[in-house]
Structures are given as structure tokens and as C-alpha cells.
Homo-oligomer: A and B are copies of this chain.
Amino acid sequence: MFYIGVDLGGTKIAVGLVQKDGALIAKKSAKTDAESFAHIMDTIADTIAGLLEENGFSTEDVEGIGIGCPGSVDSRSGVVIYANNIRLDNAPVAQTLRARIGKPVFVSNDANCAALGENVMGGAKGLDNLVLITLGTGVGGGIIIDGKIFDGNNGTGGEPGHSLLRMNGEACTCGRRGCWEAYASATALIRQTKAAIARHPESSMSGDAQVSGRTAFEAAKRGDKAGRAVVARYLRYVAEGIVNMVNIFRPDIVLIGGGISHEGDYILRPIQRFVDRRSYGAAYTTPPRVKLATLGNDAGIIGAAMLCRGK
């Protein structure tokens, strides 16, 4: 018997056939039609059917289906309350797919699923208390406590990206000012890089036709002063928010995923130094290690599948 894991993203639906121990056997993906709930449900059902067929299985071989969805998810009812990038307002995902496929369906937030995947098969294997931070378009957070997803009272909380970094600071997409996400996302880094280029026309970054989340890192690595300043400040933003999470959750490990995590050790070392120095009670205890997430996009598929293990 297998679990099916589904990672429902804004542009892509990725479906995987997952063993009960978390091993990902095969996967298949399809484009997301972000405008229509019914169409999204059709695509998921069709992609699952296709994946099973390609691998010589049928729904008979499936014990359950887990789905990681963006946005705010009521994990108890399996309803997506709302999502920024996809039309899923009060969308009864679990009920709809269960009626369609006739198997138990479990739903959670995509960042939570990624964290669970990293716990079962990735960078936090064997470490049952972890915080996964994804630095991408936004700052996502997945929290695992004692091997289980913590999603903030049935999925309505669990938003570390929307803790303050600086009250009255940068405007955040959530309507508040000064959230961590507004400083530590790749989107924020691009904004910070553009501002530095405007202030420092002499910087080698001025040549970049298309500023990306890599621009400042590349400039810093070639010794560009403005680039180094952008990176140092950005990593401080990241590290300060991680200390917030450490002071609340004190996980065994903090994992960093998302686009920015490709910078690897270059970002880990300064972040670890800050966490070691500034976490609460750092003089008396050893703060958690900060490492990279290791499963990439597969984390979300594996973790979604693992929702089927039950609570």
C-alpha cells in the first residue's frame, strides 16, 4: 500500500507515489489552472490516476492522499480558507477529492508539508522538533513539534513570516507593517538590492540588467562593497527572525529552504553565529543548528503523503 502526496502550487501540481516509510517512488506533474477550483480538483484526480497507471498500480493500492496547499488551511475540515495566488476561498478540498477518489484525504499548508517531509526523509531526519523557513517570494514557515505538524490551531496560525522585525517598518502583503517577510523574503532582498544600486551607482551591481535574489550575493562574492553591505544586512534580517523562532519553539534544528538557500554555507555561517550569540539563554544552553533543507521540491510531496499517517 502507498500514500499519494500532492504539492499544489500556484503554477504546478506535483503528485508523488510515496512508500509508508517516506520513500518517493515516482512522480508526475501538471499545470495549475489557478482560476478554477473545479479544474484544480480535476487536474489532481487525473494526475493521480495517470501516475498510478504509469507505474502499474490502481487506487486499490492507495491508502490515503495528502495534499499540501498554499495559504490558510483548516486541517481538521480539509478546507482551504484562502490562498493568495490560487482561487481557493473556502474550498472543500478534502471532501471534493474524497468523493472523487474514494480514499481518505488529508490537507495541510504546503510549508508544513515541506517541514514534515524534511523531518521524515530530509535534513531533519531523526530530529522531531524543527522549524523550516523558506526564503522565497515570501517567508514561509513549517513547524514540527514532536514529529507532528504544528499549524497553529487547525491551520489558522503557524505564520512565522508575519512576526515583527520592526514595528512600523516596511509594508507587508498581509496588511501589517514591519513583518519579517517584508525584510527577509527574496522579494525584499531584490528591493534592498535595487535601493543599494540607486544609492551606489559605482557598484558593479549597476550593470545587472535584471536584478534577482542572486545579484547582491554574486556582487558580494566578487568583493563589491555595496553588495556586501546588502548581503550582511539581509542575513541579519534572516537571523533575527530565526532567533525569534528559536526563542519560542527551541527546535532541535532550523532548516532553511527556498531560492535563497542555494547560497549554502555562505549564508549559514553568519546566521549560525548570530543565533549562537543572541538566542535567549545562549550563555547557558546550546542554541539549535541552522542547516539547509535537503529535499527541495520533493519535501512538499513527501510531507503531504505523510499526512496520511494520521495524528
A residues with CB within 8 A of B: 72, 81-82, 89, 129, 145, 150, 152-153, 156-160, 162-167, 174-176, 178, 236-237, 240-241, 243-244, 246-252, 277-278, 280-285
Contact = CB atoms under 8 A, between A and B. Distances in A.
17 contacts: A82-B281, A89-B284, A153-B251, A153-B252, A157-B248, A157-B249, A158-B250, A159-B280, A160-B248, A163-B164, A163-B244, A164-B243, A166-B167, A167-B236, A167-B240, A174-B281, A175-B278
A76 to B, nearest CB: 12
Contacts of A164: 163-166, 240-241, 243-244
Given A249-B153, A250-B158, A284 B167 contact: no
Nearest to A146: B153
B81 A285 contact: yes
Nearest to A250: B157
Contacts of A159: 247-248, 280
Given A157-B248, A163-B163, A167-B240, 14 more contacts: A72-B284, A81-B284, A82-B281, A89-B284, A129-B153, A145-B150, A152-B247, A152-B248, A156-B250, A157-B249, A162-B244, A162-B247, A164-B240, A176-B280
Q: Quickly give the copy total for this chain.
A: 2
A164 B159 CA distance: 15
B156 A281 contact: yes
A110 B222 CA distance: 52
Contacts of A160: 247-248
Given A165-B164, A167-B165, A281 B246 contact: no
**Closest CB pairs A-B (n = 6):** A157-B250, A152-B250, A156-B250, A153-B250, A162-B247, A159-B247
A280 B109 CA distance: 15
Given A164-B163, A167-B240, A152 B249 contact: yes
Nearest to A141: B248
A241 B244 CA distance: 12
Nearest to A252: B153
Contacts of A162: 244, 247, 280
